[in-house]
Homo-oligomer: A and B are copies of this chain.
Amino acid sequence: MEMTDFELTSNSQSNLAIPTNFKSTLPPRKRAKTKEEKEQRRIERILRNRRAAHQSREKKRLHLQYLERKCSLLENLLNSVNLEKLADHKDVLTYSHDAFVASLDEYRDFQSTRGASLDTRASSHSSSDTFTPSPLNCTMEPATLSPKSMRDSASDQETSWELQMFKTENVPESTTLPAVDNNNLFDAVASPLADPLCDDIAGNSLPFDNSIDLDNWRNPAVITMTRKLQ
C-alpha cells in the first residue's frame, strides 16, 4: 500500500496526544508547486482535520448532554402541573384552549408511539470499584448546587435532589462504600424498565404519579424519575 508513509505513521491507531501545536512551515497562501510541498500540505491538513474532528465530537457530545438535561428539566416542570385542570383555565393559556390541547395531544402521541428505546444493558461498568463523590458540574450555577444550600435550607419543604453518577478514574479501594453494589443497583434499575421509554410504567405498574424516563442510550443509562411523596 505504501501510503506515502511520510510521517503520518498512524494509520489506524489512537495516536493520543493530539497535535495541538504544529506550525506550518509553508507560506499560507501560495500554490504548492513541488511534490514535496503538496505532500506537506496534505499532511498538515490531515493533522488539522484530526483535531477538528475531535472538537466536533466533543461539541456533539455536549449537545447531547444539553438535550438530555433540557428534556429532564422540561419534564419536571410539566409534571409539576396538572395538565387536565390546566386545560380549563383559559386565563393561563397563552393561546386558545384548542391550541393547548393540540400541543398536549401531540406530545402525548409522540410519547406513546415513539419507541425510542434502546437496549437495556445499562452496563454497570466496573463491578467492584468505588463511589467517589465529587462535584462535577458544568451546567449548574454554583449557587444552585451549592452544598450549603442542601444542608441548611430547611426552610423549604420541597425537597428535590439529583444524583449523578459518572465515570472517572479509579481511586483507592479504601474509600469504597461497601454497602453499595453497583451491579445490583443497575440491575434493579434496569430490569423493571426492560421495555421502552417507560412512560407507561409511571402509569400503571409503579406507584408513581409522575414520570420515569429511562434513557437507554447513554452508557450506562440515564434515569430520571420524579415522585411525589405524600
Contact = CB atoms under 8 A, between A and B. Distances in A.
Contacts of A63: 116, 118, 133, 135-136, 138, 217
B16 A227 contact: no
B160 A220 contact: no
A61 B216 CA distance: 9
Contacts of A26: none
- Interface magnitude class on chain A: 35 or more
Given A16-B150, A144-B167, A165-B223, 11 more contacts: A58-B217, A70-B110, A70-B116, A80-B103, A109-B140, A133-B206, A138-B144, A163-B225, A165-B221, A184-B206, A228-B228
A160 B167 contact: yes
Contact of A182 (B147, B151, B188, B210): B188
A43 interface: no
Contacts of A224: 72, 162-164, 222-226
Interface string A50-77: 0100110011111111111111111111
Contacts of A197: 133, 163
A10 interface: no
A98 B156 contact: yes
